[in-house]
């Protein structure tokens, strides 16, 4: 039976709480990891953050599928919102770009992730990065208060994507924009994927078709929607073996069912 939105949300919350509790500093796991086994590394971006200013190893849990800050066009003094901020990796990178006169707010629905992020902020000694507990569909952020929204491999895990993008639209200032790295699918995923907790919390089942994803953004009122980067993600065979039956894996191979990492930017109109 297909899980409800509330059930899917709790699956994701539980999985990421487990990651936050169990992962040592800079563990290099991935949102595409199923049963946690330290010997396995399913990171989708490898060492993409190597040499990036503001990088904090303690905040890197290997959960990203892109580098949204690279395409976000951040400037000094801006207020940035990081959705699904985890242990704070992209928030700290963004802080390095907006400077001491800018501000970064991270929002995550997992209390354990918020605790790790706040610890990392305390270690870093910066006072213009804060982390708030909340859901993306109901952001604890004032309307028209954010210059740039970023997010890394998170919105695909949100059951109600239209609501998520409506909230992004609400909090952005007129003329503001977002830059989101996310996972999309080559086609509509079958119900048997949607109902598998491991696959869902591993960035697979939450993905909707690429064109549907872009349509949701446009229907939310954004303009100048641009795919800044895109690449196919190969889900590790051992993860599929644990998550899917032989019949399901055969169907995925026969239909070339796959997922993509995309980085998308879009703007809130000024009027």
CATH number at residue 85: 3.40.50.150
CA torsion angle for 45, 67, 103, 175 (degrees, to 10)?
A: -150
The pLDDT, as a whole number, for residue 187 is: 76
The pLDDT, as a whole number, for residue 90 is: 95
The pLDDT, as a whole number, for residue 237 is: 63
CA torsion angle for 89, 61, 68, 7 (degrees, to 10)?
A: -110
Q: In 97-222, where do the E strands start and end?
A: 103-108, 129-133, 146-152, 172-185
Series of mean pLDDT values for 10-residue runs along the chain (271 residues): 67 77 57 40 56 78 85 97 95 94 96 94 92 96 98 89 97 98 81 55 70 96 96 69 75 76 96 75
In degrees rounded to 5, what are phi and psi of residue 201?
A: -70, -5
**Cα 86 to Cα 63: distance, rounded to the nearest angstrom:** 8
**Cα 84 to Cα 90: distance, rounded to the nearest angstrom:** 10
How many domains does the chain fold into?
A: 1
Domain extent at residue 27: 5-267
Q: Is the dihedral of CA 170, 175, 181, 184 positive or negative?
A: positive
The Cα angle at residue 76 between residues 74 and 80, in degrees rounded to 5: 50
Among all chains, which residue has been given the structure tokens 């939105």?
5
The pLDDT, as a whole number, for residue 198 is: 53
The pLDDT, as a whole number, for residue 14 is: 74
Nearest to 200 by CA among 5, 8, 4: 8
The pLDDT, as a whole number, for residue 202 is: 55
**Residues whose CB falls within 8 Å of the CB of residue 132, separated by 6 or more in sequence, listed in order:** 105, 106, 107, 114, 140, 141
Which residues partner with 58 through β-bridges? none
């Amino acid at each position: 039976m297909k899980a409800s939105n509330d059930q899917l949300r709790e699956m994701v919350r539980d999985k990421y709480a487990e990651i936050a509790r169990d992962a040592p500093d800079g563990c290099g796991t991935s949102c595409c990891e199923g049963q946690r086994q330290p010997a396995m590394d399913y990171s989708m971006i490898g060492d993409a953050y190597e040499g990036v200013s503001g990088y904090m190893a303690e905040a890197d849990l290997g959960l990203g599928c892109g580098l949204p800050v690279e395409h976000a066009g951040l400037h000094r003094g801006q207020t940035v919102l990081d959705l699904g901020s985890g242990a704070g990796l992209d928030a700290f990178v963004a802080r390095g770009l907006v400077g001491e006169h800018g501000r970064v707010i991270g929002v995550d629905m997992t209390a354990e992730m918020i605790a790790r992020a706040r610890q990392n902020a305390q270690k870093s000694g910066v006072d213009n990065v804060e982390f708030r507990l909340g859901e993306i569909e109901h952001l604890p952020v004032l309307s028209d208060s954010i210059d740039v929204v970023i997010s890394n491999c998170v919105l695909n895990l949100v059951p109600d994507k239209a609501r998520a993008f409506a909230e992004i639209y609400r909090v952005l200032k007129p003329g503001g924009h977002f830059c989101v790295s996310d996972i999309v699918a080559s086609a509509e995923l079958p119900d048997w994927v949607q109902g598998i907790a491991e696959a869902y919390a591993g960035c697979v089942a939450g993905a909707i078709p690429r064109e549907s994803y872009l349509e949701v953004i446009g229907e939310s009122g954004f303009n100048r929607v641009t795919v800044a980067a895109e690449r196919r993600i190969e889900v590790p065979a051992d993860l599929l073996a644990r998550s899917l039956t032989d019949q399901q894996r055969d169907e995925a191979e026969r239909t070339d069912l796959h997922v993509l990492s995309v980085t998308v930017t879009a703007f809130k109109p000024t009027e």
